[in-house]
Amino acid sequence: MYHSVIAGIGHYLPDNIVTNSDLEKLMDTTSDWIVERTGIEERRHVVKGSGDSPSTMGTKASRIAIEKAGLTPDDIDFIIFATLSPDYYFPGPGVMVQDQLGIKEIGALDIRNQCSGFVYSLSVADQFIKSGMYQNILVIGSELHSGGLDMSTKGRNVSVIFGDGAGAVVIQRTEKEAVGILSTHLHSEGKYAEELALIGPNTGRWVPEIIANANSEDLSYYPYMNGNFVFKHAVTRFSEVIIEALQANNFQPSEIDLLIPHQANLRISQFIQKKMGLGEHQVFNNIMKYGNTTAASIPIALSEAFDQGKVKSGDLVCLAAFGSGFTWASALLKWQ
Q: Is 250 among the catalytic positions?
A: no
Q: Is 318 among the catalytic positions?
A: no
Does 219 or 55 have the greater pLDDT score?
55
Q: Is 262 among the catalytic positions?
A: yes
| Residue 75 DSSP symbol | G
Residue 39 has pLDDT above 90, yes or no: yes
120-132 mean pLDDT = 98
**What's the confidence (pLDDT) of residue 180?**
98
**What's the confidence (pLDDT) of residue 219?**
63
**What's the confidence (pLDDT) of residue 205?**
73
Q: What pLDDT digit, counting tens, does each position of 51-76 carry?
A: 999 999 999 999 999 999 999 999 99
Pick the CATH number of 181-334 from 3.40.50.410, 3.40.50.720, 3.40.47.10, 3.40.630.30: 3.40.47.10
199-228 mean pLDDT = 77
- Looking at residue 15, its amino acid is D
139-148 mean pLDDT = 97
Note the Cα 147 to chain centre separation in Å. Answer: 18
C-alpha gyration radius of the chain: 19
Q: Is 326 exposed, middle or buried (0-12, 13-18, 19+ CB in 10 A)?
A: buried
Percent of the chain predicted with pLDDT > 70: 98
Q: What pLDDT digit, counting tens, does each position of 163-189 carry?
A: 999 999 999 999 999 999 999 999 999
Percent of the chain predicted with pLDDT > 90: 92
Name the segment(s) of the chain with CATH classification 3.40.47.10. Answer: 3-177, 181-334
Q: Which of 11, 115, 265, 286 is catalytic?
A: 115
Which CATH number is 3-177 given?
3.40.47.10
DSSP labels, 191-225:
GGGGGEE---SBTTB-HHHHHHT--TT--TTS-EE
Q: Which of 262, 265, 285, 318 is catalytic?
A: 262
Does 88 or 214 have the greater pLDDT score?
88
